[in-house]
Amino acid sequence: MQPDLDTHRARRASLLKTLGEGVLILSTAPEAHRSRDTHYPYRFDSHFYYLSAFPEPEAVLVLIAGRKPKQILFCREKNEEREIWDGFRHGPKAAKEVFGFDAAYPIGEIDKRLPKLLENQPRLAYAFGADPAWDARVMGWINAVRGKVRSGVTAPAHLSDAHALIDAMRLFKDAHEIDLMQRAADLSAEAHRSVLRLCQPGMGEWEIEAELLRVFRAGGCQAPAYTPIVAGGKNACVLHYVGNNQRLNDGDLLLIDAAGEYHGYAADITRTFPVNGRFSAAQKDVYEIVLAAQYAAIDAVRPGENFIAPHEAALRVLTQGMADLKLLSGEVDGLIESEAWKPFYMHKTSHWLGLDVHDAGDYKTKGAWRDLQPGMALTVEPGLYIRPAANVPEALWNIGIRIEDDVVVTEAGCRVLSAAAPKTVAEIEAGMRHEG
* Tens digits of residue pLDDT in 259-286: 999 999 999 999 999 999 999 999 999 9
**What pLDDT is attached to residue 435?**
73
Taking CA atoms, 84 is separated from 87, 360, 435, in Å, by 6, 37, 49
- Give the chain's count of helices (H) and strands (E): 13, 21
- The pLDDT confidence band at residue 436, using thresholds 50, 70 and 90, is low
**166 and 184 co-located in one domain:** no
Instruction: Answer with the residue of higher pLDDT: 2 or 120.
Output: 120
Clarify whether 37 is annotated catalytic. Answer: yes
Name the catalytic one among 36, 37, 67, 411.
37
Can 268 be counted among the known catalytic residues?
yes
Q: How far apart are alpha carbons 284 and 287 in whole angstroms?
A: 5
pLDDT band, residue 36 (cuts 50/70/90): confident
Identify the active-site residue in 404, 405, 406, 429.
404
- Strand pairing report for 399-402 and 70-75: unpaired
DSSP 361-403: S-SEETTEEPBP-TT-EEEE--EEEE---TTS-GGGTTEEEE-
Q: Is 385 a catalytic residue?
A: yes
Active-site residue, from 385, 405, 406, 429 = 385
Q: Evaluate if residue 3 carries a pLDDT over 90.
A: no
With a cut of 80, say whether residue 105 has pLDDT above it.
Answer: yes
Asked whether residue 123 falls in the same domain as residue 143, the answer is yes
CB 371 within 8 A of CB 306: yes
Q: Answer whether residue 182 shows pLDDT above 80.
A: yes
Q: Has residue 189 got a pLDDT over 60?
A: yes
* pLDDT value for 37: 85
Q: Which of 240, 394, 434, 435 is catalytic?
A: 240
Q: Which of 176, 347, 387, 415 is catalytic?
A: 347
Amino acid found at 53: A
Long-range contacts of 105-110 (CB under 8 A, 24+ apart): 105/72, 105/73, 105/74, 106/74, 106/75, 106/76, 106/77, 107/58, 107/59, 107/60, 107/74, 107/75, 107/76, 107/77, 108/77, 109/74, 110/60, 110/74
Residue 312's Cβ-count burial label (10 Å; 0-12, 13-18, 19+) is middle
Selected catalytic residue, list 33, 34, 214, 358? 358
Which entry of 205, 261, 381, 406 is annotated as an active-site residue? 381
Domain-ending residue, one of 170, 205, 232: 170
Catalytic residue among 305, 351, 359, 405: 351
Average pLDDT over residues 219-242: 98
- Our answer to whether residue 347 is catalytic in this structure is yes
Would residue 358 show up in a list of annotated catalytic residues for this protein?
yes
What are the DSSP E strand ranges found in 148-194?
A: 158-161
**237 and 311 part of one domain:** yes
Could you tell me the sign of the dihedral formed by the alpha carbons of 184, 187, 189, 192, in that order? negative
Residue 372 CB neighbours (<10 A)? 23
Does the active-site annotation cover 402?
Answer: yes
Question: Residues 381, 50, 376, CA angle at the centre, nearest 5°?
Answer: 35
Half-sphere exposure of 243 (CA within 13 A, CB side): 12
248 and 160, same domain (yes or no): no
Q: How many CB atoms lie within 10 A of CB 157?
A: 10
Helix (H) or strand (E) holding 72: strand 70-75
Could you give the CA distance from residue 98 to residue 115 in angstroms, rounded to a whole number?
27
What is the mean predicted confidence (pLDDT) over 337-364? 97
Q: Can you give the CATH number for the domain in which 313 is found?
A: 3.90.230.10
CATH number at residue 51: 3.40.350.10
Question: What gap in Å lies between CA 262 and CA 347, rounded to an integer?
Answer: 27
Nearby residues of 312 by Cβ (< 8 Å), 6 or more positions away: 300
The percentage of residues in the chain with a pLDDT greater than 70, rounded to a whole number, is: 99
What's the rounded mean pLDDT across residues 35-53? 95
Query: Same domain for 267 and 379?
Result: yes
CB 206 within 8 A of CB 244: yes
Instruction: Measure the CA–CA gap between 273 and 384, rounded to whole angstroms.
Output: 14
Q: Are residues 291 and 408 in the same domain?
A: yes
417: pLDDT strictly greater than 70? yes
HSE of 275 in the Cβ direction (CA atoms, 13 Å)?
23
Do residues 165 and 192 both lie within one domain? Answer: no
Nearest to 53 by CA among 102, 106, 12, 105: 12
Per-residue pLDDT, 231 = 98
Q: Yes or no: say if 29 and 43 are a contact pair by the CB < 8 Å rule.
A: yes
- Convert the pLDDT of each residue in 190-223 to its tens digit: 999 999 999 999 999 999 999 999 999 999 999 9
Q: What's the one-letter identity of residue 46?
A: S
Of 170, 185, 211, which residue sits at a domain end?
170
Domain boundary among 170, 185, 201: 170
Q: What is the pLDDT of residue 434?
A: 79
Supply the DSSP string of 196-214, one letter for each residue.
HHH--TT-BHHHHHHHHHH
The residue annotated as part of the active site, out of 205, 268, 356, 406, is 268
Q: How far is residue 308's CA from residue 330's CA, in Å, rounded to a whole number?
A: 24
Residue in 163, 205, 402, 405 annotated catalytic: 402
Number of domains in the chain: 2
Spatial contact of 235 and 257, defined as CB atoms under 8 Å apart: no
Instruction: Say whether both 371 and 286 belong to one domain.
Output: yes
The residue from 209, 211, 257, 429 that is catalytic is 257
Instruction: Establish whether 240 is a catalytic residue.
Output: yes
Q: Closest by alpha carbon to 323, among 389, 393, 225?
A: 393
Residues 421 and 321 in one domain: yes
| Mean pLDDT score, 283-312 | 98
Q: Are 96 and 52 in contact (CB under 8 A)?
A: no
- Cβ pair 328, 335 in contact under 8 A: yes
Q: 326 and 308 share a domain?
A: yes
Range of the domain at 82: 5-170
Q: What does the pLDDT look like over 354-400, one tens digit per residue?
A: 999 999 999 999 999 999 999 999 999 999 999 999 999 999 999 99
The percent of residues in the chain predicted with pLDDT above 90, rounded, is: 97
**Angle 257-258-259 (CA atoms, 0-180°, nearest 5)?**
140
Whether 268 and 389 share a structural domain: yes
Separation CA 393–CA 217 (nearest Å): 42
Kindly state whether residues 47 and 194 are assigned to the same domain.
no
